[in-house]
Amino acid sequence: MHGQWSSRLVFILAATGSAVGLGNIWKFPYITGENGGGTFVLVYLLCIALIGIPIMMAEIMLGRRGRQSPINTMKLLAKDENRNRNWVWLGWMGMVAGFLILSYYSVIAGWAMSYIFRTGSGMFIGATADGVNSIFGDLVSDPERLLAWHTIFIVMTMIVVARGVKNGLEVAVRYLMPALFVLLLMVVAYSMTTGHFMEGVRFLFTPGKITQEGVLTAMGHAFFTISLGMGAIMVYGSYLPRNTSIAQATMFIAAADTIVALLAGLAIFPIVFANGLTPDAGPGLIFKTLPIAFGHMEAGTLVGTAFFILLSFAAWTSAISLIEPAVAWLVENKGVNRLYASMYMGIATWLLGLGTVFSFNIWSDKTWTIPYLFKDYSFFDTLDYLTANIMLPMGGLFIAIFAAWLMREKSSREEMDTTDWVYKIWRILLRYVTPVAVIIVFLKAVGAIGVVE
């Protein structure tokens, strides 16, 4: 029989665990830096509110109604609602996206884990920006070390997935997430002492210029950071008991996720400005800035070590949800048990992850170009672009279309089980605002409807 969370709280914890991860602390600051700050943050926040939240409710709702892996859920719901069988492809695309994302997510999580030991050994005490920079450079230029950490992280993830996501996740999220939050606050407090705090605040919140690609990245990140559009939230929703308010749970998850991201920004940018670094340092940004804080603050070695431990846990609870749709599907359809299903997926993800490992060193000059989309991207950048900027928003768009246009109103109303006005606002957003917004951002990004300054 299909499992169920033991309570509503466990679902909220697990979904928050999925949402809060490297996306908030590693990715949000570095893409904000690359895209010029203020306006990017604003577009991202708008996307969370107008696109992310309505789609998240829809995705949870579909999951709870289908009660299976996303692929089988879509198959079942298409049948129940008398719709085309091809809707099952939505489940497939999500499963593939999760697998692709995990392959590089695991490599970055490996960086975070390796920083537990760098910080713990006191390497950063009194550190300068240059010193921290070269320590990061040494790590990523060494394929063997990256490979070792990538391997450890994949194995750790697959162990939890093999045992069933419901055991263990609860403790990790209930105690470790709040602890991560507190440590983040401590770094923000340090940043306030750098004398450049307001510069960081201004960078994050004063509107400026943004490119079309920046708008697409902001939208893609809104999906990525709340784990949307690929079935992770759908599969968690499928374990959700009937009597839970989907709307309330969604608001909590989205708020928690956004607060953590903004705090990470407030922690990092003042350090960037105080040390003469540039915001557009790329994927290494947090590893080039946070160690400076840990090297100079009170009890920094302890705080920093704990921080990277908790960041690794946050990455772990997200990674689990990235691969759960695929594992659930293998168990349901291929008759393999969870252990083997996890092993197969683990091996496949590990292999693909090699591409990301090498893209930071021996393959760093190998690049890809897709006309109209991007030019000279590394393997890692290409994967990130295709998943976060294309596949997740596309998945979200189809979820919105299915839930708001193709599902009978009676079914969605029954499953949402909320007050009349909440239901109505949700449905209007999901029918008219959300899909149109996603389509406009897509078309603008490929230059089909003019370019905006």
- The answer to whether the beta carbons of residues 326 and 98 sit under 8 Å apart is yes
Whole-number minimum distance, CB 383 to ligand PHE, in Å?
13
Q: For residues 177, 180, 184 and 187, what is the CA-based torsion angle, rounded to 10 degrees?
A: 170
Between residues 100 and 139, which has the closer beta carbon with respect to ligand PHE?
A: 100
The two three-digit tokens of residue 161, written as one number: 């997935």
Between residues 114 and 258, which has the closer beta carbon with respect to ligand PHE?
A: 258
Whole-number minimum distance, CB 174 to ligand PHE, in Å?
18
Whole-number minimum distance, CB 59 to ligand PHE, in Å?
11
Task: Return the closest-CA partner of residue 18 out of 249, 264, 217, 269.
Answer: 249
Whole-number minimum distance, CB 191 to ligand PHE, in Å?
22
Task: Return the closest-CA partner of residue 63 out of 222, 242, 319.
Answer: 242
- The answer to whether the beta carbons of residues 20 and 256 sit under 8 Å apart is yes
Between residues 224 and 402, which has the closer beta carbon with respect to ligand PHE?
A: 224
Between residues 60 and 127, which has the closer beta carbon with respect to ligand PHE?
A: 60
Whole-number minimum distance, CB 322 to ligand PHE, in Å?
5
Could you list the residues that contact ligand PHE (CB under 6 A)? Answer: 18-19, 21-24, 101, 224-225, 227, 230, 232, 318, 321-322
Whole-number minimum distance, CB 392 to ligand PHE, in Å?
7
**Count of all residues that appear for the chain in the document:** 453
- SS3 call for 226: coil
Give the C-alpha separation, 101 to 349, whole Å.
Answer: 9
Task: Return the closest-CA partner of residue 213 out of 52, 35, 369, 50.
Answer: 35
Whole-number minimum distance, CB 133 to ligand PHE, in Å?
24
Contacts of 326 (CB under 8 A, 6+ apart): 95, 98, 99, 341, 345
Query: For ligand PHE, which residue has the nearest CB?
Result: 23
Which strand (E) or helix (H) includes residue 139? Answer: helix 129-140
Between residues 19 and 176, which has the closer beta carbon with respect to ligand PHE?
A: 19
Between residues 21 and 38, which has the closer beta carbon with respect to ligand PHE?
A: 21
The two three-digit tokens of residue 85, written as one number: 């069988």
Give the C-alpha separation, 96 to 110, whole Å.
Answer: 22
Give the C-alpha separation, 152 to 139, whole Å.
Answer: 16
Whole-number minimum distance, CB 244 to ligand PHE, in Å?
20
Between residues 140 and 256, which has the closer beta carbon with respect to ligand PHE?
A: 256
The two three-digit tokens of residue 413, written as one number: 């109303």
Between residues 110 and 295, which has the closer beta carbon with respect to ligand PHE?
A: 110
Give the C-alpha separation, 453 to 448, whole Å.
Answer: 15
Between residues 102 and 266, which has the closer beta carbon with respect to ligand PHE?
A: 102
- The answer to whether the beta carbons of residues 323 and 102 sit under 8 Å apart is yes
Whole-number minimum distance, CB 319 to ligand PHE, in Å?
7
Q: What are phi and psi of 426, to 5 degrees?
A: -55, -50
- The answer to whether the beta carbons of residues 62 and 402 sit under 8 Å apart is yes
